[in-house]
Structures are given as C-alpha cells and as structure tokens.
Amino acid sequence: MAEYYVYIMTNRSRTLYTGVTIDLVRRVHEHKQKLADGFTKKYNITILVYFEATPDVRSAIAREKQIKGWLRIKKIALIESINPRWNDLSAEWFEETSPSAVSQRDPSLRSG
C-alpha cells in the first residue's frame, strides 16, 4: 500500500511551504536542487522541518489544505511539536559530493 506525505519545508528566514507527495525523498531532493520553477525555488526553500504520512491520498490532500489554511503561529506550533529546533529532517538522506563536504566527513582527506 502506498504512503502519502504532507510536509512543511522552510529556508533560513523561516518562510514556510506546505506540500503533499507520494515520494517524500524525491520531492525534497527536487526542492533542494531547485529543479522546478516556483515559490520554493524563488525563496530557496530547502529545509524539511515537518512531515506526516497517511495511506489515503484524499486524507493527505485534505490535511495539506487544512495546514495551508492555518495561521502561521499554528503552523509553527505543529513544526515545534516534533522538531523544536527546526532541524532539517532530511539532512542525512542525500550524499554530499562537494570536496569540502567529503573532507568534513573524513578527516583523513583534509589537506594541511
């Protein structure tokens, strides 16, 4: 059975974006890589701060609409109920390939 995800992403300024998807890892990757024009690309929305799963697509869409209709303060309370520090919940999902990222992970690769 498929899972559908409602998620909230943000940027360093804490601009909020709420979405729904069947493939959370793929969708977060698309946001992080700015693969689609639009709000998330324009505002550099790359930090996953909240998500929930449901097996029913209609429930996921209804929940997305519900959250989008909330005042910002209620969205913040939802995020902070599971992620009080606003950590990027997808931080470990993707392999970094830049040389500086590699050297930060493996001290033996640092120069000097």
Q: What does the mean pLDDT of the chain come to? A: 88
| pLDDT tens digit sequence for 45-98 | 999 999 999 999 999 999 999 999 999 999 999 999 999 999 999 999 987 654
The CATH-assigned architecture of domain 4-109 is 3-Layer(aba) Sandwich (3.40)
Q: Give the pLDDT band of residue 19 (cuts 50, 70, 90).
A: very high
Angle (CA) 13 15 89, round 5°: 85
Strands (E), the chain: 4-10, 17-21, 47-54
pLDDT for the residue numbered 1: 79
pLDDT for the residue numbered 44: 96
pLDDT for the residue numbered 81: 98
pTM for the whole thing? 0.83
